[in-house]
């Protein structure tokens, strides 16, 4: 068993390692949604896409959450104000319904969504784009971790101490591999987020 809670672990961090047995997926069935004139879309993950580049993961919290049906959220760093409002509504609907979510929660809109999720009771999986071996769990996350409804997970080793654009791209692929559905709140033109979505569809 990996990812003991802070309550049950004698050390501040419950970091363990697990080898991924399968970790494969592929993409099909794109369903477009309209946020007024701003497109958002789902990608349903159902088949095989190899992610053997992630031979191990490190966790803090309830690792069993990775076995859950998860919805991943992605959003470009820059997006129109109306997208922010629609994203807030969407995040609130996920919170009310108790939908289990996963993401890097790195961009401003993603962080806004995380703040809303923390006010609810649904399971949350957070994937930083760096190693978590020496990570101090933020105060606002300790309660959910101890309650068993939050997991912090990373495929990066201890030498990856800082977030980088390259790590963020690898992290997003890891998030996609762990999720059952991907939801792109906004993918700006020529952005890494759009490039990632196009890669999934290629």
User: pLDDT tens digits for 44-64?
Assistant: 443 333 334 556 788 899 988
CA torsion 25→178→54→158, rounded to 10°?
170
Q: How far is CA 193 from the centre of its chain?
A: 14
User: pLDDT tens digits for 78-107?
Assistant: 888 888 998 999 999 999 999 999 999 999
Please name each of the domains of the chain with its CATH number: 35-201 (3.40.50.450)
Looking only at the bridges linking them, the beta strands covering 56-61 and 71-75 are: unpaired
User: pLDDT tens digits for 183-195?
Assistant: 888 888 888 888 8
* Stretch among 50-59, 116-125, 173-182 having the lowest mean pLDDT: 50-59
Q: pTM score, two decimals?
A: 0.74
- The separation between the first and the last C-alpha atoms of the chain, rounded to the nearest angstrom, is 36
């Amino acid at each position: 068993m990996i990812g003991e809670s802070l309550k049950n672990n004698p050390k501040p961090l419950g970091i363990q390692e697990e080898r991924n047995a399968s970790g494969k997926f592929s993409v099909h069935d794109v369903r477009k949604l309209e946020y007024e004139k701003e497109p958002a879309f789902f990608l349903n993950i159902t088949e095989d896409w190899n992610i053997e580049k992630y031979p191990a993961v490190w966790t803090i919290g309830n690792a069993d959450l990775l076995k859950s049906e998860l919805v991943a959220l992605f959003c470009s760093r820059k997006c129109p104000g109306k997208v922010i409002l629609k994203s807030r509504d969407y995040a609130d609907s996920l919170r009310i319904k108790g939908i289990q979510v996963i993401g890097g929660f790195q961009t401003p809109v993603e962080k806004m969504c995380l703040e809303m999720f923390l006010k609810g009771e649904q399971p949350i999986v957070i994937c930083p784009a760096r190693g978590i071996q020496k990570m101090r769990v933020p105060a606002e996350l300790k309660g959910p971790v101890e309650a068993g409804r939050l997991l912090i997970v990373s495929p990066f080793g201890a030498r990856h101490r800082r977030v980088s654009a390259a790590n963020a791209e690898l992290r997003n692929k890891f998030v996609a591999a762990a999720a059952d559905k991907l939801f792109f709140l906004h993918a700006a033109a020529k952005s890494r987020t759009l490039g990632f979505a196009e890669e999934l569809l290629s």
